[in-house]
Amino acid sequence: MTYPTQPTASHFIDGQYVEDRSGTPIPVVYPATGEVIATVYAATPAIIDRALTAAGRAQKAWGQMTGTQRGRILRRAADILRDRNHDLSVLETMDTGKPLQETLVADATSAADALEYFGGLAGSLTGEHIQLGADFVYTKREPLGVCVGIGAWNYPTQIAAWKGAPALACGNAMVFKPSETTPLCALKVAEILHEAGLPAGLYNVIQGMGEVGAALVTDPRVDKVSLTGSVPTGRKVYAAAAAHIKHVTMELGGKSPILVFDDADIEDAVGGAILGNFYSSGQVCSNGTRVFVQKGIKEAFLKRLKERVETAILGDPLDEATNFGPMVSERQMNIVLGYIEAGKAEGARLVTGGTRVDRAGYFLAPTVFADVTDDMSIAREEIFGPVMSVLDFTDEADAIARANDTDFGLAAGVFTRDLTRAHRVVAAFEAGTCYINTYNLAPVEAPFGGSKMSGVGRENSKAAIEHYSQLKSVYVAMGKVEAPY
């Protein structure tokens, strides 16, 4: 199978594609057919060393450039990404199986937004002046040095840019390791950044499984690690980074709640629940997979939900009419099927879906369970697939307590027409990213990230600058030095 914009080698190091077939081969599978569309090779220790050496060397001069100069390159890369959106979206679809209808609007475009936003911000990164009588202190915002980005498989283009754009804007270099499941798209981000004028060595992509990520995280030349992944991986990466007191950003998993009150606009609430469960076939970290519905609206909500979910168009992801694609891999499909069986066995009521779809590839029908209780595994564990759990509630305070009764804290949403209640509920949510009468929007201007076990730090927005730079504080004395002896 051929497709446009195919990367030409496994790695991108020091401004060019690099191949080294001595590493473990990683087949790239198109999830809609199971066909192997490419093979990349895991980075050997020599490749890891080459990438880190290039990054360390290149960062020195990059950190000395003005923010405006750096930003201009990032904004140029954003324009190239937009110009090539169609081909890059096809590549993202081949890498992940997500429908082209989605990738055309949510992946290369989101990466372009990040490069444009942080490119625009780069020239305005300043410190402050603190007057102390005649003396004063000034602060400078300095780069951290070499940053490592480690990506999950659900948004390979977006994650590569969400980490790369603020890192580069702040004057850092990056070595990015994509998920072994979706290794192709980050290579194109690297290629386009360099085409836009990024000096060689500043954005490198190397492939590999967890061991390659672990080797990067433990290398003393690395100053910062940003991971998008599961909580168990986050725990390991955070601990490894702690050994050298490295900076970290952790974008981890979730089991987020959506509260739908009796007075909600039912079509909006159903639409929000659909966006929060079935976009990208449910493979979205912030998904609102526990949908708490107030008793008075429950049956009407379930009726409309079933009707609308059953109109989803499953099929060839490259056909723009398709709006529901396969799971990213056979492994992930089997994990989700296990949860569907657990839901049935634990006594949840299957409203729709619940099966594998009879066609090639790793397709599951969008699945809704009702009458789910808080103790069921489908209500407690992150499934990362198209499985929505609908739970009942009557009392607001009780619903909030149940919504918060989880170790995760990534996102949360509320649907109600009562403005006061909406703000009261989000104030009580223990989650980093909250929604009122919508769900799962992630514009680059807004901070994105989790509380509790769902993460540390924030991506996007001005807040990300804090996580890719450090302050130097300079005390300037204007008088004599008074010492006791």
Q: Does 97 bind ligand NDP (CB under 6 A)?
A: no
Considering only residues 95, 102, 113, 180, which one is a binding residue for ligand NDP as defined by CB under 6 A?
A: 180
Q: Does 384 bind ligand NDP (CB under 6 A)?
A: yes
How many helices (H) and strands (E) are present in the chain, helices listed first? 16, 20
Using the minimum distance from each CB to ligand NDP, give the nearer residue, 123 or 447: 447
- Choosing from 251, 382, 396, 466, the catalytic residue is 251
459 is catalytic: yes
> Which residue type occupies 359?
R
Both tokens of 160, joined, read: 């590569």
Q: How far is the CB of 332 from ligand NDP (least distance, A)?
A: 8
Give the H or E element holding residue 161.
helix 156-169
Q: Are 102 and 280 in contact (CB under 8 A)?
A: yes
246 is catalytic: no
Using the minimum distance from each CB to ligand NDP, give the nearer residue, 422 or 464: 464
- Choosing from 224, 285, 298, 396, the catalytic residue is 285
Using the minimum distance from each CB to ligand NDP, give the nearer residue, 101 or 289: 289
Both tokens of 467, joined, read: 């996580």
Q: Does 102 bind ligand NDP (CB under 6 A)?
A: no
Q: Does 461 bind ligand NDP (CB under 6 A)?
A: no
In the stretch 122-161, what mask flags binding to ligand NDP with x, by CB under 6 A? ----------------------------xxxxx-------
Considering only residues 23, 253, 343, 354, which one is a binding residue for ligand NDP as defined by CB under 6 A?
A: 253
Q: Does 237 bind ligand NDP (CB under 6 A)?
A: yes
- CA–CA separation, 100 and 390 (whole Å): 29
- Residue 328 CB contacts under 8 Å (≥ 6 apart), including other chains: 31, 96, 97, 153, 154, 181, 182, 283, 362
Q: Does 229 bind ligand NDP (CB under 6 A)?
A: yes
Q: Are 219 and 190 in contact (CB under 8 A)?
A: no
* Number of residues this chain uses to bind ligand NDP (CB under 6 A): 30
Between residue 296 and residue 325, which ones bind ligand NDP under the rule CB under 6 A?
none
Q: How far is the CB of 197 from ligand NDP (least distance, A)?
A: 28
285 is catalytic: yes
- CA–CA separation, 248 and 468 (whole Å): 9
Both tokens of 395, joined, read: 């009392």
DSSP class of residue 448 equals B
Using the minimum distance from each CB to ligand NDP, give the nearer residue, 143 or 151: 151
State the residue number with the nearest CB to ligand NDP: 213
Q: Does 252 bind ligand NDP (CB under 6 A)?
A: yes
434 is catalytic: no
SS (H, E, C) 257-283: EEEECCCCCHHHHHHHHHHHHHHHHHC
Using the minimum distance from each CB to ligand NDP, give the nearer residue, 109 or 228: 228
Strands 224-228 and 146-150: parallel
* Residue from 385, 365, 463, 475 nearest 135 by CA: 475
Residue 13 burial (C-beta neighbours within 10 Å; 0-12, 13-18, 19+): buried
Q: Does 209 bind ligand NDP (CB under 6 A)?
A: yes
Active site residues: 163, 251, 285, 459
- Residues forming the site for ligand NDP (CB under 6 A): 150-154, 177, 179-180, 209-210, 213-214, 217, 227-230, 233, 236-237, 251-254, 285, 382, 384, 410, 450, 455
